[in-house]
Structure 1
């Protein structure tokens, strides 16, 4: 795993964060438990993390979620911001193995992508988010673990469908013709 942060990573962080924020309200509520929904922004975080690595993924999760909360909800829910950052970091750690930039995102890479996103979502939403909700906001354990499980289920569905499609399309089309290049 290479940890580099150059022009491409700065641009990817900016674009990914902007998309994440804009898509904050593009969601389908579960209607069972408050504050849980299928969120398209999860696909953006999954994709950018898997392509550009853990620094970009963590930054998009942290900055995008914090700004999205502040803009659309009036306050930042840190107990859900940090899990998105963790998810972005964990997905990004495996970016080279997914081979998205190299045009090799198929078969085993897709399977690995989805195994990693399920594990990363489990750590973020079944473990970290509920624990932070209890520690920071003194929320009832039953409520926040139920929310975490629903968020986990929604996120794995969105990441598996939209995240995989974005990664596959980029791998086959965009990776070969990157428009970002260093000027002399």
Structure 2
């Protein structure tokens, strides 16, 4: 996010991002052998929105989107909803200053994106979610840490691959600053 965006653009991005997060999380989840953990494609979209619109939008998209998924499924599970918000927050914060919105996506930005994805998912699913499950819901530690490691591995992998491909495609659709010239 190189330039300041209007609040209207931010609100629209949050609404669209949360809706996409919800639809993918509710209807495109791929089950894993670990109970209550699925391969979640929605985190790739969350990551792309966090890159383009920043950490606040990313956090709100992840939190709101996950609340909608849980509210229409197995019920509110605050520790995992908070973790989704943390994913958007961390990726957005680690990607501040990128120029993807302007069509620039050099290799170093792709590397930084994938590092931010791994850090965000590691902290969210191997620390925040399990500790929240233990502290809020008195869940057994061995169960929630197995769920957390599984969620980390599947989410980091799918977000890294799909998110990178979406960012590459998006950057190619943008006109780079200074790429247009006038003819004499």
Taking structure 1 as the reference length, the TM-score comes to: 0.89
Q: Which residue of 1 aligns with 2:145?
A: 145
State the aligned residue count. 174
Q: Which residue of 2 aligns with 1:176?
A: 175
Shift of 1:106: 2.7
Judge conservation of contact 2:67–2:76 (CA < 8 Å) in 1. yes
Shift of 1:23: 1.1
Task: Give the unaligned 5+ runs of structure 2.
Answer: 177-184
Q: Is 1:53 the equivalent of 2:54?
A: yes
Deviations 1:129-152 (A, max 9, x none): 000000011000011001000000
Q: Which residue of 1 aligns with 2:32?
A: 30
Q: Which residue of 1 aligns with 2:15?
A: 14
Q: Distance in 1 between matches of 2:101 and 2:110?
A: 13
Shift of 1:4: 5.7
Q: Distance in 1 between matches of 2:96 and 2:141?
A: 37
Q: Which residue of 1 aligns with 2:103?
A: 103
Q: CA RMSD in A?
A: 1.7
Deviations 1:145-164 (A, max 9, x none): 01000000011111111111
Taking structure 2 as the reference length, the TM-score comes to: 0.89
Q: How does 1:60-139 map to 2 (within 5 A)?
A: 60-73=61-74, 75-139=75-139
Indicate how the Cα distance of structure 1 residues 126 and 8 shifts in structure 2: closer, same or farther if over 3 A, else same: same
Q: Distance in 2 between matches of 1:154 and 1:46?
A: 14
> Which of the two has higher C-alpha Rg?
2
Deviations 1:22-79 (A, max 9, x none): 1123111121x10112111111111111110011101001111011110122x11111
Secondary structure in structure 2 of the residue aligned to 1:176: coil
Judge conservation of contact 1:53–1:94 (CA < 8 Å) in 2. no
Secondary structure in structure 2 of the residue aligned to 1:98: coil
